[in-house]
Amino acid sequence: MVMLMSVNPGFGGKAFIPSTVDKLRAVRAMIDKTGKPIRLEIDGGVKADNIGEIAAAGADTFVAGSAIFGAPRTREHYQGVIGRMKAAVDAVRG
């Protein structure tokens, strides 16, 4: 597994650093050249509105804390956010 941090260090809820998308593409290309089953994880600022772009850039493992747990604490809310995130990834992957 290779993990890229996509926020500046600190507490949860930090903003996603857009230049990480270019890094994802570069690392995904390196991984693909090896032919090995290496996971590419992104950690930080992952939300329902950007996870599709992140997946399209090559990430296959996503850490999303504040996007899920930083809002109203209801089962329906958690399921809704996770559902939107999964749908965005599925839309990219077909």
Q: Is the pLDDT of residue 9 over 90?
A: no
How much is the pLDDT for 33? Answer: 98
pLDDT in tens, 35-84: 999 999 999 999 999 999 999 999 999 999 889 887 677 777 888 999 99
Spans of all domains in the chain: 2-93
Question: For the ranges 8-17, 23-32, 83-92, which has the lowest average pLDDT?
Answer: 8-17
Say how many C-beta atoms besides its own lie within 10 A of residue 27's C-beta: 19
Sign of torsion over alpha carbons 65, 68, 69, 70: positive
pLDDT in tens, 43-56: 999 999 999 999 99
User: Domain spanning 2-93: which CATH class is it, in words?
Assistant: alpha beta
